[in-house]
Structure 1
Amino acid sequence: MNKKVISIIVPCYNEEEMIPLFYDEINKISQTMDTVLFEFIFVNDGSKDGTLKKFKELANKDTRVKYYSFSRNFGKEAALYAGLVHAQGDYVAVMDVDLQDPPELLPEMYRLIREDGYDCIGTRRKDRAGEPVIRSFFARGFYKLINRISDTEIIDGARDFRLMSRQMVDAILSMTEYNRFSKGIFSWVGFETKYLEFENKERVAGQTTWSFWSLFKYSLDGIVAFSEVPLALASIVGFLTFGVALVLALFFAIRTLLFGNATSGWTSMVVIVLALGGIQLLSLGIIGNYLGKTFLETKRRPIYILKESSESNIFDKKGAEKNE
Structure 2
Amino acid sequence: MLISLIVPCYNEEEAMPLFYQEAARVAAQMEKSHGAEFEIIFVDDGSKDGTLRVARELHDADPRVRYVSFSRNFGKEAGIYAGLKAAKGDYVATLDADLQDPPALLPDMLDALLTGDYDCAATRRTTREGEPPVRSWFARLFYRIINKMSDTEIVDGARDFRLMSRRMVDAVLEMSEYNRFSKGIFSWVGFKTKWFAYQNVERVAGQTKWNFWSLFKYSIEGIVGFSTQPLVMAALAGVIFCLAAFVGIIFVVARALIFGDPTAGWPSMVCIMLLCSGVQLFCLGIVGEYLAKTYLEVKHRPIYIARETEQDRDERRQAKQK
Call closer, same or farther: CA 1:144–1:270 in 2, change over 3 Å.
same
How far the C-alpha of 1:257 sits from its partner, in A, is: 1.6
Q: How does 1:1-324 map to 2 (within 5 A)?
A: 4-34=1-31, 35-312=35-312
- Per the TM alignment, residue 117 of structure 1 is displaced from its structure 2 partner at its CA by 2.3
Query: For residue 318 of structure 1, what is the aligned residue in structure 2?
Result: none
By how many angstroms is 1:224 displaced? 0.5
How many pairs align? 312
Q: CA offsets, 1:128-175, max 9 Å, x none?
A: 111111111111111001000100000000000000000000000000
Which amino acid counterpart does residue 174 of structure 1 have in structure 2? Answer: E
* CA distance in 2: counterparts of 1:165 and 1:307, whole angstroms: 28
Per-residue CA distance 1:86-138 (angstroms, 9 max, x = gap): 10000000000011101110110011110252100000001211111111111
Question: What runs of 5+ residues in structure 2 fail to find an aligned partner?
Answer: 315-319
CA RMSD, Structure 1 to Structure 2 (Å)? 1.2
- Superposition TM-score, scaled by structure 1 size: 0.95
CA distance in 2, matches of 1:172, 1:30: 25
Give the letter for the 1:63 counterpart.
Answer: P
Partner Cα distance (2:242, 2:21) in 1: 63
Q: Structure 2 CA distance, aligned partners of 1:200 and 1:103?
A: 14
The residue aligned with 1:321 is: none
SS in 2 for 1:6: strand
Separation of aligned partners in 2, 1:162 and 1:259: 70
> What does the per-residue CA deviation read over 1:61-109, in whole Å, with 9 as the maximum and x for residues that have no partner?
0010001100000000000000000100000000000111011101100
Instruction: Tell me how far apart the structure 2 counterparts of residues 6 and 133 of structure 1 sit (CA, whole Å).
Output: 37
Decide which structure has greater helix share.
2
Report SS of the residue matched to 1:312. Answer: helix
> Residue 25 of structure 1 aligns to which amino acid in structure 2?
E
Give the whole-Å Cα distance in 1 for the aligned partners of 2:201 and 2:264.
61
Residue 265 of structure 1: CA displacement? 1.5
Runs of 4+ in 1 over 6 A off after TM superposition: none
Alpha-carbon distance between aligned partners in 1 of 2:249 and 2:165, rounded to the nearest angstrom: 62
- Percent identical among aligned pairs is 60
